[in-house]
Structure 1
Amino acid sequence: MRETDCPDPVRKALLDDLDEGFAELYGAYRGLVFSTALRLSGRWADAEDLTAETFLRAYRALAGYERARIATLQPRAWLMTILMNIWRNCARTRSRKPPPELQDQPIEEADPAQDVEEAAVRRETGDELAGLLGLLPEEQRVAVVLRHVVDLPVSEIATVLRIPQGTVKSHVSRGLRRLRALGGAR
């Protein structure tokens, strides 16, 4: 079922009260935005920054939208578009600047309520997938992440990336084929 085929409680909440609606929008999509940002950037800190900036820009944009625009908003695709634009701008800026010196990464603290073995397996699998995704050409990595991590339909990915649907399908197919080959080579 597509997002526009069912009543969206987030959209309704945004129409009723922008601040409370935004809190619902954030709660509903923060994990998805962060996960996508992490897969795109490959770094936890960058993903946190991208996520924060995405929601900041989303709030600012919503404050200027008319009710009719909010009523037709597709939150997931809209947030992914904002994230992609920020990510591209950051990548463009980084390519113009010399890389900073490598600094020690902060150690992530474990959740004491989480099963340690399960967390370690999930982390290892996530790290391996992130590493493999990082080996894909950018257009394939982005298409695969949006299709199989974010679970956007091809039509929404085409809108987010501003490319034809056939090109999206091609990027996803080639990216998956390459991931399989890379996964088997390890």
Structure 2
Amino acid sequence: MSELDCLDPVRKALLDDLDEGFAELYGAYRGLVFSTALRLSGRWADAEDLTAETFLRAYRALAGYDRDRVAGLQPRAWLMTILMNIWRNCARAKSRRPPLDLRDEPVEEIDPDQDVEAAAERRETGDELSDLLGLLPEEQRVAVVLRHVVDLPVSEIATVLKIPQGTVKSHVSRGLKRLRALGGVR
């Protein structure tokens, strides 16, 4: 069995052909990246922008990587690192600009084939959770989202955030405790 046979399908596809492999990477991780971006930003449009920018930067980076670097890539942690860097930069830039008038926000379109009651319940729960996550300090919110929404192990979160694993565990624990106190988590 060759070393190439031991790789996950995404990394193998990236090594075989960057464009086709990237399509597989995108298909495998777009939901995860978007869900994380939505929980971090709290806004659908911002999450879409963050997701698009994450994959754009990922593609550009992959084009410059050699085979060994691609073979050793941990796609989920790598994409989360890219997303976190973009999100932090956007948050920094946004803090320097005056707030927008929210009345100019576009209204989200509704799919007519969708079960309206189920969609409303999901949206309400998601909005509630986003609101509660928004009340957490940034380091706790990020740690909770990466651990319980993205389902990254503590070691990968530590790598993404560039902090010790014990600090990750502390941020997750304190964030969950605070969410429970706010009534958002059981």
> TM-score scaled to structure 1, two decimals?
0.92
Q: Cα distance, 1:109 vs. partner?
A: 1.8
Partner of 2:24: 24
Q: Cα distance, 1:106 vs. partner?
A: 1.6
Give the gaps of 5 or more residues in structure 1: 1-5
- How far apart are the structure 1 equivalents of 2:30 and 2:11? 15
Partner of 2:137: 137
- How far apart are the structure 2 equivalents of 1:122 and 1:19? 35
* Aligned AA (1:138): E
Partner of 2:91: 91
User: C-alpha root-mean-square deviation of aligned residues, in Å?
Assistant: 1.2
Partner of 2:179: 179
- How far apart are the structure 1 equivalents of 2:14 and 2:112? 35
- How far apart are the structure 2 equivalents of 1:169 and 1:154? 7
List structure 1 runs of 4+ shifted beyond 6 angstroms.
none
Q: Cα distance, 1:101 vs. partner?
A: 3.2
Q: Cα distance, 1:175 vs. partner?
A: 0.2
- How far apart are the structure 1 equivalents of 2:78 and 2:170? 23
- How far apart are the structure 2 equivalents of 1:107 and 1:86? 25
Q: Cα distance, 1:138 vs. partner?
A: 0.3
Deviations 1:153-182 (A, max 9, x none): 000000000000000000000000000110
2:7/2:71 contact within 8 Å kept:
no
Which SS does the other structure have where 1:50 is aligned?
helix
Report 1:87-166 matches (<5 A).
87-166=87-166
Give the gaps of 5 or more residues in structure 2: 1-5
Deviations 1:45-77 (A, max 9, x none): 111110010000000000000000000100000
- Residues matched between the structures, number: 179
- CA 7–114 in structure 1, closer or farther in 2 if over 3 Å, else same: farther
- How far apart are the structure 2 equivalents of 1:112 and 1:173? 40
Deviations 1:65-99 (A, max 9, x none): 00000001000000000000000011111122222
- How far apart are the structure 1 equivalents of 2:11 and 2:113? 33
